[in-house]
């Protein structure tokens, strides 16, 4: 039985190579759930418009649910002529319910059908990724709560800068991933525009009440305002790919930190064996491959975004077959990020911070700003204080001693009114405690941030 959705005007069959090039079921088959949900809603709309009977509508819905179950259970058998998910579903539906299936496509084009499928899929994908981001945030929050006062060096330019706490470092990534979740929410809001009923490009003339379709498909808030834009718009896919790519960049930054921090040179954390690998030659090696893969796979996510933008950049109105190329980049990014976030959350949850190694990496030079601040509190303009402390740092390099071991006369050479009390500056815990501005690294502030995030994230969970 022929089951193409087109072909009446063609005198010759599609060539085998063209069929292989054109067919998309091998990858768009995963849209089955969205496609069937859209078709069930469409069947209802056809009945309301008087285009099919109530009995036919019920037959179609029951048949579509049977097809959905076959897909979900892995029992759906694809045939060679299944050009895409739409063709496959309609072909199987006809096998199950007979000629009533031939009425399902009335007034509908694959153009508005696939646009609807993709929006439904993107909404579900965004929800899935948001859940995994939340799990990663909670893993970081657990570490932050346990290490709100654990001292470690903070870095700029990968050079030791000022002391912070490990909990504060963890919370920086909690903030970062929260922005990713917010961007996902923004993308979903713009994806909740229903294109179904726009037809091939010009709308439909069969009395379909499109607004009623949003009641059957409650993921949508409104119908598209222009039928041309409805079938040609893939902004929502590009936007989601951008969010996925940026999330990948943020995962890469976390991974880079943990690759460094788990090295012998740093030793700030130890990754669990379950998220590390060994060497085929060197028996002593423990490699942070989970983090390196997170770092490396960010390139796929960025590349998939560029792929889609390149596809879209020169397309004329409205639908073009080029748009078939929106699916594989989206699916690949979803699968890559989905698994990567799960690995990241588990690796963070099981990693073992090493407070002693963090503390050992602190040095007096990291308190130079504290010393400048002490001079400011004595009335010295900051720019002068900065220069004076810089001269003291230069003397430590010349004398090969730390700031706390620099003789008092060296301090008095740059600021005569200093006395022995100046050495009280050299307390890393006190330095961190002084950074008590809102959002600062003081343990008191870190605990406040943890409490705020615990309340917010537990509500989300």
- Supply the residues annotated as catalytic: 157, 279
Contacts of residue 298, defined as CB under 8 A and 6 or more positions apart, other chains included, come to 245, 248, 249, 251, 252
Question: Cα–Cα distance between 104 and 40 in angstroms, integer?
Answer: 9
Contacts of residue 183, defined as CB under 8 A and 6 or more positions apart, other chains included, come to 243, 246
Question: Cα–Cα distance between 294 and 42 in angstroms, integer?
Answer: 41
| Cβ-contact 174, 140 below 8 angstroms | yes
Q: Which residue has the tokens 């491959």?
A: 289
| Cβ-contact 85, 29 below 8 angstroms | yes
Question: Cα–Cα distance between 359 and 444 in angstroms, integer?
Answer: 19
Which H/E stretch holds residue 212? Answer: helix 210-216
Q: Within a 13 Å sphere around the CA of 158, how many CA atoms are in the beta-carbon half?
A: 6
| Cβ-contact 237, 330 below 8 angstroms | yes
Residue 98 vs residues 6, 8, 32: alpha-carbon distances, Å:
19, 21, 20
Over the Cα atoms of the chain, what is R_g? 30
| Cβ-contact 115, 233 below 8 angstroms | yes
Name the pairing type of β-strands 269-270 and 222-223. Answer: unpaired
Question: Cα–Cα distance between 391 and 378 in angstroms, integer?
Answer: 18
Q: How many Cβ atoms from other residues are within 10 Å of residue 172's Cβ?
A: 17
Query: Judging by beta carbons within 10 Å of its beta carbon (0-12, 13-18, 19+), is residue 269 exposed, middle or buried?
Result: buried
Following DSSP, what letter does each residue of 5-31 receive, concatenated?
Answer: S--TT-SSPPPHHHHHHH--HHHHGGG
Q: Which residue has the tokens 């870095």?
A: 155
What's phi and psi for 389, nearest 5 deg?
A: -65, -35
């Amino acid at each position: 039985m022929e089951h193409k959705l087109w072909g009446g005007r063609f005198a010759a069959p599609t060539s085998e190579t063209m069929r292989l090039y054109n067919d998309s079921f091998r990858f768009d088959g995963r849209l089955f759930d969205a496609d069937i949900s859209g078709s069930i809603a469409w069947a209802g709309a056809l009945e309301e418009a008087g285009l099919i009977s109530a009995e036919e509508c019920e037959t179609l819905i029951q048949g579509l649910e049977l097809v959905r179950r076959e897909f979900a259970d892995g029992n759906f058998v694809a045939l060679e002529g299944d050009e895409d998910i739409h063709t496959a579903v309609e072909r199987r539906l006809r096998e199950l319910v007979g000629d009533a299936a031939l009425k399902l496509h009335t007034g509908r084009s694959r153009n508005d059908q696939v646009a609807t499928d993709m929006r439904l899929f993107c909404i579900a994908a965004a929800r899935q990724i948001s859940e995994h981001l939340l799990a990663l945030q909670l893993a970081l929050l657990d570490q932050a709560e346990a290490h709100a006062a654990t001292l470690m060096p903070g870095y700029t330019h990968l050079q030791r800068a000022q002391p912070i706490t490990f909990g504060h470092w963890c919370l920086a990534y909690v903030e970062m991933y929260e922005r990713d979740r917010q961007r996902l929410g923004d993308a979903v809001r713009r994806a909740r525009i229903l294109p179904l009923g726009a037809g091939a490009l010009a709308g439909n003339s069969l009395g379909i009440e499109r607004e009623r379709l949003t009641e059957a498909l409650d993921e949508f808030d409104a119908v598209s305002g222009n039928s041309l834009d409805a079938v040609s718009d893939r902004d929502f896919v590009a936007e989601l790919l951008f969010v996925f790519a940026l999330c990948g960049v943020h995962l890469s930054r976390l991974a880079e930190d943990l690759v460094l921090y788990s090295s012998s040179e740093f030793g700030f954390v130890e990754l669990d064996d379950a998220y590390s690998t060994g060497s085929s030659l060197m028996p002593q090696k423990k490699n942070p491959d989970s983090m390196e893969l997170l770092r490396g796979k960010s390139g796929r996510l960025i590349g998939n975004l560029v792929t889609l933008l390149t596809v879209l950049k020169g397309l004329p109105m409205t639908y073009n077959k080029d748009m078939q190329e929106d699916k594989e980049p989206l699916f690949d990014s979803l699968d890559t990020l989905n698994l990567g976030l799960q690995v990241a959350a588990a690796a963070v949850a099981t990693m073992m911070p090493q407070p002693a190694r963090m503390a050992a990496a602190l040095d007096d030079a990291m308190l130079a700003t504290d010393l400048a601040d002490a001079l400011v509190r004595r009335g010295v303009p900051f720019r002068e204080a900065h220069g004076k402390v810089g001269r003291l740092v230069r003397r430590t390099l010349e004398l090969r001693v730390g700031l706390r071991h620099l003789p008092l006369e060296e301090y008095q050479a740059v600021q005569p009114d200093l006395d022995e009390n100046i050495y009280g500056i050299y307390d890393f815990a006190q330095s961190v405690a002084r950074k008590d501005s809102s959002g600062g690294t003081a343990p008191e502030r870190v605990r406040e941030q943890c409490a705020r995030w615990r309340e917010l994230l537990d509500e989300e969970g």
